Amino acid sequence: MSDKIYLSTGELAKMLGVTKQTVIYYDKIGLISPAKREKEYRYYTLEQADELDSILTFRDLGVPINVLKDYLKERNAQSCIEMLRKQKEKLELEIQKMDRIRKKIDGRARLLEKVITVSDFKAVKFSEEERQLYMVEECKEADEKTFMESFIKLCNHSKRLQIDFENPVCNIIKKEDILKGSFRNTAYFGINISENFNGIDIVKFEKPAGIYASTYHQGSYETMYIAYERLLSSIETEGYIVCGNAYETDLLSTLTNLDKNEYMKLISIQVMKV
């Protein structure tokens, strides 16, 4: 060997704080090859140590290996700027995605924290509520399969629009079905959206501002009529009449509970004084 300083694979790896396997792998894929080989041994120059350090920095920044290989073939300041700019754009999109995920997690956690603090599930409350908008999917209840297809269609649409999980699914029951006692005749599945929300092929449904009577239902969906009967009885007793739709919001369901007897919905019906 000449007087020029060479580093073995192990020495180079130790200097840069990586494993020998990483250095060997980068050689095998053609990212950085040793300056010389003697039998089965690889030797790298000090300049290559600096080059590999830069490569590792780019990899830490998330630059894909194939992009890095192309860049290293014809590297210059301008191409480096372009590569970093593209990587920044990718990272900004990823940050936006992570922020949406964080908001969805926070929203569902806040909802669950509120639910587990409820002390009286059978209480009926009358309160003024603000106008709300829902993205809805019409519910076609010819049978259980089409019922579920409508539900899944809304869920898939909400995933594509990145608003799933943050807001629970709401069943909307029309006033005429409430008065007939057909409490399980869901007209629409909906997810709450903001006033300025826009998306492709969405159908919006308005929940008007007004007075709503609300209570919780805990148990299987087959026993929902018990909560409705409690609501309607209190509405009559307090001198109100039903003047709008019912909104059933899933709070605890298959997502959080194994036992369907622990499922929970918040039921709200629009009312007015007689």
In the sheet that holds 41-45, the strands lie side by side as 6-8, 41-45, 36-38
Tokens 């409820």: give the residue.
118
Which are the contacts of 242, defined by CB distance < 8 A and separation ≥ 6?
A: 175, 178, 179, 232, 235, 269, 270, 271
Round to whole Å and give the CA distance between 171 and 159: 18
Determine which helix (DSSP H) or strand (DSSP E) holds 108, and give its type and residue range: helix 77-115
Instruction: Tell me whether residue 175 is in a domain.
Output: yes
Same domain, 261 and 125: yes
Same domain, 122 and 178: yes
- Give the 3-state secondary structure of residue 123: coil
Same domain, 59 and 127: no
Maximum separation of any 2 CA atoms in the chain, in Å: 102
pLDDT of res. 165: 65
Round to whole Å and give the CA distance between 197 and 91: 25
Residue 264 has pLDDT above 60, yes or no: yes
Among 57, 75, 93, which residue terminates a domain? 75
Same domain, 180 and 47: no
Q: What are phi and psi of 134, to 5 degrees?
A: -125, 145
Instruction: Tell me whether residue 113 is in a domain.
Output: no
Which are the contacts of 41, defined by CB distance < 8 A and separation ≥ 6?
A: 8, 9
Which range has the worst mean pLDDT, 48-62, 186-200, 228-242?
A: 186-200
pLDDT of res. 158: 85
Among 46, 75, 104, which residue terminates a domain? 75
Full domain range(s) for residue 235: 118-273
Dump pLDDT digits (tens) for 201-231.
889 999 999 999 999 998 888 888 999 999 9
CATH code, 190: 3.20.80.10
Residue 243 has pLDDT above 70, yes or no: yes
Mean pLDDT of all residues belonging to the chain: 88
CATH code, 64: 1.10.1660.10
Same domain, 172 and 238: yes
Sign of CA dihedral 224, 226, 227, 233: positive
Residues paired with 248 in a beta bridge: 171, 267
Number of structural domains in the chain: 2
SS3 assignment for 158-204: HHHCCCCCCCCEEEEECHHHHHHCCCCCEEEEEEEECCCCCCCCCEE
Same domain, 143 and 268: yes
Over the Cα atoms of the chain, what is R_g? 31
Same domain, 138 and 211: yes
Dump pLDDT digits (tens) for 101-157.
888 788 778 878 877 787 788 899 999 999 999 999 998 766 788 888 888 888 888
Instruction: Tell me whether residue 81 is in a domain.
Output: no
CB 12 within 8 A of CB 32: no
Which range has the worst mean pLDDT, 4-8, 43-47, 97-101, 203-207?
A: 97-101
- Give the 3-state secondary structure of residue 30: coil
**pLDDT-based confidence at 4, cuts 50/70/90?**
confident
Cα of first residue to Cα of last residue in the chain, in angstroms, is 102
Dump pLDDT digits (tens) for 103-119.
878 877 887 887 778 77
Same domain, 262 and 136: yes
Q: What are phi and psi of 29, to 5 degrees?
A: -90, 0
Round to whole Å and give the CA distance between 146 and 6: 71
Same domain, 231 and 178: yes
Phi-psi region of 239 (alpha: psi -120 to 50; beta: other; left: phi over 0): left
Among 20, 54, 75, which residue terminates a domain? 75
Residue 252 has pLDDT above 80, yes or no: no
Instruction: Tell me whether residue 219 is in a domain.
Output: yes
